């Protein structure tokens, strides 16, 4: 997700079209997805013909239709995002719900990629026993994939012919830790290109043995105290998510505490224009946003003028000023926190902590 964001967030062009829609993982629901996409492509087509030179518009429309025709909806997740400009025609699937919409601007609408990084927790589940090890990639309460070769890993040393080692508890522990150390190295190699936190699903005694031998103790975010060798991946992840979700809530509470501290020190902004100017000058630290909050706007003489939904399709209107703020703040090294509760009620759904 980080790579996708880097690829799209800094793109600037006379015309960047982003088509965003909810999709479905399974039949028969995913048979509705091509119809919704077709309708959104028609909306994009009409906006391009209204706002751009006919030849340019028709060329862009052709690129959109070609890209849409390439998509196999049998592999859909929760949502789909298409990015089209004069040089780019790509799509990505996301494991989060979105608001169906078309954005036409001089940059791509990337807030859903940011949301996928921050709202949707990605992690690995290592299902571990003294006999086997399985590795599952998960997003929230859903299993995305279970790793194959070299997984599942079988412990061939536990029942080795060295009966002397097996005859003592310490000898057995040493053999177990040798196996776990091997598993740890294989796991770290498997996730090297996409490093994420790891939750262990294993018995309590195994959890402590694994922590003793792992090379990256900081990656382990906890464990589910059960043996799940033979369970289906989606059943395991459904229960593992409860533990991961508790960890997320704790982290979110810590981030909200940062905002409260900034408010107490007067080091924050909540007015749209103040936030825009602070971010543009590189003073933005963390942007706090109410989940699902979108706001069309115009920039007039460096002031943010909010636009109602009825006039949001006009050419000079930025489809979502909050998306622009997210991208600019990321460029200056800031970050984003999406808030699900009512903590931002007094700020109108948007607040920025300041560096100085």
The pLDDT of residue 87: 92
Q: Are 293 and 284 in contact (CB under 8 A)?
A: no
Query: If we measure between CA atoms, which residue out of 66, 58, 68, 59 comes closest to residue 21?
Result: 68
Q: In this predicted model, what pLDDT tens digit does every residue of 210-258 receive, in sequence order? A: 999 999 999 999 999 988 999 999 999 999 999 999 988 888 889 999 9
Which residue is it, tokens 């997320």?
Answer: 248
Average pLDDT rounded to a whole number, residues 180-203: 94
The pLDDT of residue 51: 92
Ramachandran assignment for 266, one of left (phi > 0), alpha (psi -120 to 50 degrees), beta (any other): left
The pLDDT of residue 331: 87
**Is residue 133 predicted with pLDDT exceeding 70?**
yes
The pLDDT of residue 165: 59
**Is residue 284 predicted with pLDDT exceeding 90?**
yes
Task: Indicate the pLDDT class of residue 1, thresholds 50, 70 and 90.
Answer: low
Query: 32: which 2 tokens?
Result: 């509705």
**Is residue 144 predicted with pLDDT exceeding 80?**
yes
Q: What is the distance between the alpha carbons of residues 93 and 22, in angstroms, rounded to a whole number?
A: 10
CA-angle at 309, arms to 308 and 313, nearest 5°? 105
The pLDDT of residue 292: 81
The pLDDT of residue 159: 56
| Percent of the chain residues past pLDDT 70, beyond the cut | 95
The pLDDT of residue 238: 95
CA-angle at 76, arms to 74 and 78, nearest 5°? 145
Average pLDDT rounded to a whole number, residues 29-56: 96
Q: What is the distance between the alpha carbons of residues 326 and 117, in angstroms, rounded to a whole number?
A: 13
| Average pLDDT score, the chain | 90
The pLDDT of residue 174: 86
Average pLDDT rounded to a whole number, residues 141-163: 82
The pLDDT of residue 28: 94
Q: Can you spell out the DSSP letters for 90-149? A: EEEEESS----EEEEESS---HHHHHHHHTS-EEEEEEE-SSEEEEEEEETTEEEEE--T
CA-angle at 120, arms to 67 and 42, nearest 5°? 25
| DSSP count for the chain of H helices, then E strands | 10, 16
Q: In this predicted model, what pLDDT tens digit does every residue of 6-18 receive, in sequence order? A: 778 778 899 999 9
Q: Of 90-94, 244-248, 299-303, which gets the smallest average pLDDT?
A: 244-248
Task: Indicate the pLDDT class of residue 291, thresholds 50, 70 and 90.
Answer: confident
The pLDDT of residue 162: 58
| DSSP percent split of the chain into helix, strand, coil, nearest 5 | 45, 25, 35
Please give the domain boundaries of the chain with CATH numbers for all domains. Answer: 2-118 (3.30.960.10), 122-250 (3.30.420.60), 267-354 (3.30.1330.30)
Whether pTM > 0.75 for this model: the answer is no
- Cβ neighbours for 226, distance < 8 A, ≥ 6 positions apart: 201, 202, 203, 239
Strands, DSSP E only, in the chain?
Answer: 16-22, 79-84, 89-94, 101-105, 122-128, 132-139, 142-146, 153-154, 198-201, 220-224, 268-269, 284-290, 297-300, 303-306, 335-339, 350-354
Q: Of 7-16, 130-139, 205-214, 346-355, which gets the smallest average pLDDT?
A: 7-16
Three-state DSSP string of 202-236: CCHHHHHHHHHHCCCHHHEEEEECCCCCCCCHHHH
**Is residue 185 predicted with pLDDT exceeding 80?**
yes
Q: What is the distance between the alpha carbons of residues 137 and 93, in angstroms, rounded to a whole number?
A: 16
Task: Indicate the pLDDT class of residue 156, thresholds 50, 70 and 90.
Answer: confident
Task: Indicate the pLDDT class of residue 335, thresholds 50, 70 and 90.
Answer: very high
Query: 252: which 2 tokens?
Result: 């979110």
**Is residue 161 predicted with pLDDT exceeding 60?**
no
Q: Of 133-137, 155-159, 322-326, which gets the smallest average pLDDT?
A: 155-159
């Amino acid at each position: 997700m980080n790579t996708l964001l880097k690829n799209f967030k800094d793109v600037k062009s006379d015309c960047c079209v982003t088509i965003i829609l909810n999709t479905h993982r399974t039949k028969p629901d995913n048979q509705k997805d091509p119809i919704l996409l077709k309708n959104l492509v028609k909306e994009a087509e009409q906006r391009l013909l209204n706002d751009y030179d006919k030849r340019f518009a028709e060329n862009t429309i052709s690129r959109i239709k070609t890209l849409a025709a390439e998509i196999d909806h049998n592999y859909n997740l929760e949502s789909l995002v298409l990015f089209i400009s004069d040089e780019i025609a790509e799509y990505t699937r996301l494991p989060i719900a979105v608001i169906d919409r078309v954005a036409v601007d001089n940059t791509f609408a990337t807030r859903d990629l940011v949301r996928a990084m921050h709202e949707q927790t990605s992690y690995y589940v290592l299902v571990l026993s003294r006999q086997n090890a399985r590795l599952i990639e998960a997003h929230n309460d859903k299993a995305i994939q279970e790793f194959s070769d070299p997984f599942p890993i079988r412990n061939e040393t536990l029942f080795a012919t060295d009966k002397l080692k097996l005859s003592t508890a310490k000898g057995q522990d040493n053999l177990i830790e040798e196996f776990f150390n091997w598993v740890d190295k294989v796991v770290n190699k498997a996730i090297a290109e996409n490093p994420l936190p790891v939750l262990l699903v294993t018995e309590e005694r195994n959890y402590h043995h694994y922590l003793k031998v792992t090379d990256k103790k900081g990656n382990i975010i906890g464990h589910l105290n059960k043996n799940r060798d033979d369970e289906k991946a989606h059943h395991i992840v459904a229960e593992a998510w409860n533990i991961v979700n508790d960890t997320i809530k704790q982290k979110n509470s810590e981030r909200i505490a940062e905002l409260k501290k900034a408010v107490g020190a007067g080091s924050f902004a909540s007015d749209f224009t103040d936030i825009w100017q602070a971010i543009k000058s590189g003073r933005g630290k963390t942007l706090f946003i109410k989940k699902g909050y979108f706001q069309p706007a115009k920039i007039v003489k460096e002031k943010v003028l909010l636009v109602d939904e009825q006039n949001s399709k006009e050419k000079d209107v930025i489809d979502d000023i909050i998306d622009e703020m997210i991208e600019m703040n990321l460029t200056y090294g800031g970050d984003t926190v999406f808030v699900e509760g009512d903590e931002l009620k007094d700020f109108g759904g948007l607040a920025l902590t300041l560096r100085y």
